[in-house]
Amino acid sequence: MNYKILLIFFLLFLSSCIKEFNADENVKFKFDKKYKNSGFALIYSDNLKISEKLDNTSLFIFHKSLEKKSFVKITNPLNEKSLIAEVIKNTVNFSDFYNSVITERIMNELELNQNEPLIEINLISPNSTFIAKKVEIFDEEKKIAEKAPVDIIQTSGFQILNNKTKKSEKKNFSYSIKIAEFYYFNSAQDTMDAINKKINLKNMKIVKLSDTRFILFLGPFNDIKILEDAFIKMKSLNFENLEILKNV
């Protein structure tokens, strides 16, 4: 009889341990996957050689890694203007040089330089109370977009953009690629050495921001084609989140 009681207690103890272990495991999945990236966007047009169509009057984007129906904050880092957009496809093929495909409307509202459409993308947490309200707004925008004259929306936007673009084009083209961020200087140095063994790049440097923050940069680049070639080479080494930053 005593053995049975001991067996019951043992099983109860084992069961509680398993539940506690599972609870700890589940907690890991509750953390939101934060995504932030700075890079060039690809402006959608019917002439693009991609498989999917995008409504140029909408606030929708194509993205390769973010989940469909995710909401993101898109910012023009040069003037701090921002808006909220929705990822409607993540299976569209386009060059890895671009962090997304955006509409002409987004370009116009953020007053992006059409030749250098630099944007910052921040993923909005799905638990945000903002999301529920924004979904309603997007549904309303779909209805309005269907009724609105497309020519008026696009033409008026381009007039505003062209004035801004002329001023922006006077500034020199100068960008760098942010490869990765490190806690230790030696880790950054080891990564730089490993990259140089695979692809010969002479313009890499480590920037110290603090005693525990070191950033590995590639650049500067003064030509967009050379920048694109270097970015694609780095992408081939499977770096997850390369960023393009404008040199000030």
**Closest to 204 measured CA to CA, from 214, 192, 213:** 192
pLDDT digits (tens, 9 = 90+) for 163-212: 444 444 446 889 999 999 999 999 999 999 999 989 878 899 999 999 99
**Closest to 113 measured CA to CA, from 172, 50, 56, 49:** 172
Cβ-count burial of 241 within 10 angstroms (0-12 exposed, 13-18 middle, 19+ buried)?
A: middle
> Quick check: 106 and 74 in contact, CB under 8 A?
yes
Selected from 2.60.120.620, 2.70.70.10, 3.30.70.260, 2.40.40.10, the CATH number assigned to the domain covering 36-168 reads 2.40.40.10
pLDDT digits (tens, 9 = 90+) for 106-128: 999 999 999 999 999 999 987 65
Mean pLDDT of 27-50: 75
Map out the domains of the chain as residue ranges.
36-168, 175-246
- Provide the whole-model pTM: 0.70
Cβ-count burial of 89 within 10 angstroms (0-12 exposed, 13-18 middle, 19+ buried)?
A: middle
For residue 97, what pLDDT is reported? 95
**Using CA atoms, how far apart are residues 194 and 233, in angstroms rounded to an integer?**
14
Token digits of residue 98: 């671009």
In angstroms, the Cα distances linking 33 to 30, 36, 65, 238 are 9, 10, 12, 19
**Using CA atoms, how far apart are residues 231 and 39, in angstroms rounded to an integer?**
11
**Using CA atoms, how far apart are residues 65 and 63, in angstroms rounded to an integer?**
6
For residue 184, what pLDDT is reported? 95
Question: For the domain 175-246, what is the CATH code?
Answer: 3.30.70
Three-class secondary structure of residue 73 per DSSP: strand
Three-class secondary structure of residue 20 per DSSP: helix
Three-class secondary structure of residue 185 per DSSP: helix
Lowest mean pLDDT among 7-16, 91-100, 150-159, 214-223: 150-159
pLDDT digits (tens, 9 = 90+) for 71-94: 999 999 999 999 999 999 999 999
9: pLDDT strictly greater than 80: no
**Closest to 217 measured CA to CA, from 166, 180, 168:** 180
Q: Which residue has the higher pLDDT, 12 or 216?
A: 216
| Signed CA dihedral, 122, 92, 218, 216: sign only | positive
For residue 138, what pLDDT is reported? 52
For residue 49, what pLDDT is reported? 84
For residue 134, what pLDDT is reported? 54
Mean pLDDT of 26-50: 73
For residue 78, what pLDDT is reported? 93
**Closest to 239 measured CA to CA, from 186, 209, 198:** 198
> Quick check: 203 and 218 in contact, CB under 8 A?
yes
Token digits of residue 155: 């033409």
130 contact partners, CB below 8 Å, separation of at least 6: 124
